[in-house]
Amino acid sequence: MQLVEKADTHKDKKQGQLKIWAKQSEVYKAWLDAPQTKQMYQVAEALKYPSVQRRIHQIQTKLQQKQTDRDTRQRQSQRRDRGQGLGL
């Protein structure tokens, strides 16, 4: 009798897991079918194109140059400020 009860409990547990997996599967399928997900995949594919990669590199290079220029101006400004001191 105990063996039957164990088997029944085990079966109930597995059926519960199956229901959870079925729900997760439905949620995942809905996510895959969502317009935003499809758009995300399209963007990911477009980012692989060589022309897009070149443009990204150009933008990164320009941004890096602007940051370097800004840092240089800040250091020069700080040196000027320190050079003036208290004006005594």
Residue 43 lies inside a defined structural domain of this protein: yes
Residue 80 lies inside a defined structural domain of this protein: no
**49 DSSP assignment:** S
Per-residue pLDDT for 50 more than 70? yes
Crossing angle for the helix pair 2-33 and 35-46, to the nearest 10 degrees: 60
What's the pLDDT at 56? Answer: 96
Residue 3 lies inside a defined structural domain of this protein: no
Q: Within 10 Å of residue 39's Cβ, how many Cβ atoms?
A: 10
* Domain membership of residue 51 as a residue range: 28-63
Which residues, including other chains, have CB under 8 Å from residue 52's CB and lie 6 or more apart? Answer: 46
Calculate the CA 42 to chain-centre distance.
16
Mean pLDDT of the chain: 91
**pLDDT band for position 54 (50/70/90)?**
very high
CA-to-CA distance for 65 and 62, rounded, in angstroms?
A: 5
| Residue 31 contacts residue 37 (beta carbons within 8 Å) | yes
- Total tally of structural domains belonging to the chain: 1
Per-residue pLDDT for 8 more than 80? yes
User: Model-level pTM?
Assistant: 0.52
Residue 56 lies inside a defined structural domain of this protein: yes
| Residue 30 contacts residue 24 (beta carbons within 8 Å) | no
Residue 18 lies inside a defined structural domain of this protein: no
Residue 84 lies inside a defined structural domain of this protein: no
What's the pLDDT at 67? Answer: 96
